[in-house]
Amino acid sequence: MNTQPPPPPPPSFGSQQMRAEFMLDPKYLALNHGSFGATPSKVFADRIAQMRMIETNPDHLVKVTFDGLLDKALVPVSCLLGLEGDLGSLVFTNNATTGLNAVLRSLKQILRSTGRYPKPTALKAQKILYFSTVYDKLLFAINYTCQNDGFLLFKSTLNIPFPLRTCFRSYDAITSLPAVITPSKNLQSFSESRNPDLLDAAHAIGQIPFDLSEIKPDFCVTIYTSGSTVGTNDISAFLTTHSALAFRAWIGGESAIQTYCHTLLLAAPKSLYASMATIAVPETPFVTPLLMSKVSVFLTREQNCSVYPFKHGGRYWVRVSAQVYLNEGDFEKLAELLYRVFYGELAVE
Ligand SMILES: Cc1ncc(COP(=O)(O)O)c(C=O)c1O
């Protein structure tokens, strides 16, 4: 018999109650979800519980339950991605950049193992295709691969057709800057020889319907941010340095701890883990490179507001992210704020 009480009705989108489900400062105009996400308190509580579970017996976790727990955690992700429990093609990576690098660093082996590695004489003809809207860290990885493995670069704007004579294609589901949805299904199928491709779907989950069983890229990376932690790398351990060092001081200090451990060891026996939009910045006399270089930090520090300003195609833009904890009033506040910044009413220091 199920003794669990039914869950309470959910708060409506954009309501104060919805906002209260998150841990965000109530006065913070949080319009940069696309960069770092935000964790609901309930999910955070679960994360703390998982962390506690790990700490109860790390050996048991690493040696016994690790793979099973990760597989279990991958099941709902596989369903979200249209893979219905097919775990064979799914792994967690620390973040999307790690996944992108893993694929590119293995490109030579991938081409070899699928019989598509070019003969040495034809090597220079082999190009890696990327688009002008590429995520910068992916471009770093592509450049590295070209320099190390002898491939050439082929940069394209999102114009089709692009050249068929490429050995590897990379493309986005939603480009980061500017935030636009690409026709990834069409891009993916546009190749004569069906050479491998890498779909950077970092922003796709939660923003657009995303079905890998339909798109079928060879490789894909995506980020499931809002359900895990702020950002995609778990930095919570780094942020505990103050409390950790205070604890060490409380129990006796560094020297006493080291002496004790050393002594103990000597005495021991010998056997001994598309909801973003891009808005154009008006070209007013106040919008200078200097102002644009400072505006992001200024807004965060002085106005408790976060957005993502950037330059693309020779002009300035601001990327804003919508989320269930935001409402129209938040965007009106942003519009007013940006107006004051770009029309010189606020001094950006
Ligand atoms: C298109 C795209 N790809 C990859 C990444 C990298 O994500 P991560 O920080 O998880 O490595 C980002 C980050 O914003 C992104 O926008």
Could you count the other beta carbons within 10 Å of the beta carbon of residue 157?
Answer: 9
Instruction: Indicate whether 155 belongs to any domain.
Output: yes
Q: Provide mean pLDDT across the span 84-94.
A: 84
Alpha helices in 8-95 (DSSP H): 16-20, 33-36, 41-56, 58-60, 66-80
Given this model, what pLDDT does residue 288 score?
95
- Taking the C-alpha atoms of residue 174 and residue 217, their distance in angstroms, rounded to an integer, is 15
- Nearest residue to 201 (alpha-carbon basis) of 178, 217, 213: 217
Give the three-state DSSP class for 316: strand
Given this model, what pLDDT does residue 228 score?
45
Instruction: Indicate whether 120 belongs to any domain.
Output: yes
Indicate whether 49 pLDDT > 90: no
- Taking the C-alpha atoms of residue 348 and residue 176, their distance in angstroms, rounded to an integer, is 25
Instruction: Indicate whether 195 belongs to any domain.
Output: yes
Q: Which of 33, 134, 137 to mutate to test the pocket of ligand 1 (most atoms within 8 A of CB)?
A: 137
Place 120 in a pLDDT band, splitting at 50, 70 and 90: low
Tell me how far the alpha carbon of residue 117 lies from the centroid of ligand 1, in angstroms: 28
Contact indicator for 273, 54 with CB cutoff of 8 Å: yes
Given this model, what pLDDT does residue 263 score?
63
- Nearest residue to 324 (alpha-carbon basis) of 7, 17, 3, 112: 17
Q: Provide mean pLDDT across the span 200-205.
A: 81
Three-class secondary structure assignment of 73-123: HHHHHHHHCCCCCCHHHCCCCCCHHHHHHHHHHCHHHHHHHCCCCCCHHHH
Tell me how far the alpha carbon of residue 284 lies from the centroid of ligand 1, in angstroms: 31
Q: Is 321 in the pocket of ligand 1 (CB under 6 A)?
A: no
Q: Is 198 in the pocket of ligand 1 (CB under 6 A)?
A: no
The domain spanning residue 166 has which CATH number? 3.40.640.10
Q: Is 296 in the pocket of ligand 1 (CB under 6 A)?
A: no
Q: Which of 36, 223, 235, 275 to mutate to test the pocket of ligand 1 (most atoms within 8 A of CB)?
A: 223
Residue with tokens 């959910």: 10
Contact indicator for 47, 39 with CB cutoff of 8 Å: yes
Between 147 and 181, where is the model more confident? Answer: 147
Contact indicator for 182, 173 with CB cutoff of 8 Å: yes
DSSP assignment string, 135-151 = -HHHHHHHHHHHHHH-P
Domain count, the chain: 1
Nearest CA to ligand 1 atom 8: 96
- Nearest residue to 101 (alpha-carbon basis) of 70, 63, 143, 73: 143
Instruction: Indicate whether 68 belongs to any domain.
Output: no
Partners of 170 in the β-ladder: 198
Task: For residue 98, give its domain range.
Answer: 93-222
Contact indicator for 36, 231 with CB cutoff of 8 Å: yes
Residue with tokens 């050479």: 195
Q: Is 97 in the pocket of ligand 1 (CB under 6 A)?
A: yes
- Taking the C-alpha atoms of residue 334 and residue 320, their distance in angstroms, rounded to an integer, is 9
Q: Is 223 in the pocket of ligand 1 (CB under 6 A)?
A: yes
Q: Provide mean pLDDT across the span 16-25.
A: 89
Instruction: Indicate whether 142 belongs to any domain.
Output: yes
Indicate whether 264 pLDDT > 70: no
- Taking the C-alpha atoms of residue 97 and residue 137, their distance in angstroms, rounded to an integer, is 7
pLDDT tens sequence across 204-260: 776 777 888 888 888 888 776 544 444 445 545 555 666 666 777 887 777 777 776
- Taking the C-alpha atoms of residue 330 and residue 99, their distance in angstroms, rounded to an integer, is 34
Q: Which of 33, 95, 97, 198 to mutate to test the pocket of ligand 1 (most atoms within 8 A of CB)?
A: 97
Given this model, what pLDDT does residue 227 score?
41
State the chain's mean pLDDT as an integer.
79
Q: Is 95 in the pocket of ligand 1 (CB under 6 A)?
A: yes
Q: Is 179 in the pocket of ligand 1 (CB under 6 A)?
A: no
Indicate the DSSP class of residue 239: G
Nearest CA to ligand 1 atom 12: 202
Query: How buried is 24 (Cβ within 10 angstroms: 0-12 exposed, 13-18 middle, 19+ buried)?
Result: middle
CA 82-85-90 angle, 5° bins: 80
- Nearest residue to 89 (alpha-carbon basis) of 215, 5, 272: 215
Nearest CA to ligand 1 atom 3: 202
pLDDT tens sequence across 310-324: 998 889 999 888 777
Instruction: Indicate whether 44 belongs to any domain.
Output: no
- Taking the C-alpha atoms of residue 151 and residue 164, their distance in angstroms, rounded to an integer, is 15
pTM of the predicted structure, to 2 decimals: 0.74
Indicate whether 261 pLDDT > 70: no
Indicate whether 275 pLDDT > 90: no
Indicate whether 286 pLDDT > 80: yes
Given this model, what pLDDT does residue 232 score?
46
Place 300 in a pLDDT band, splitting at 50, 70 and 90: very high
Instruction: Indicate whether 41 belongs to any domain.
Output: no
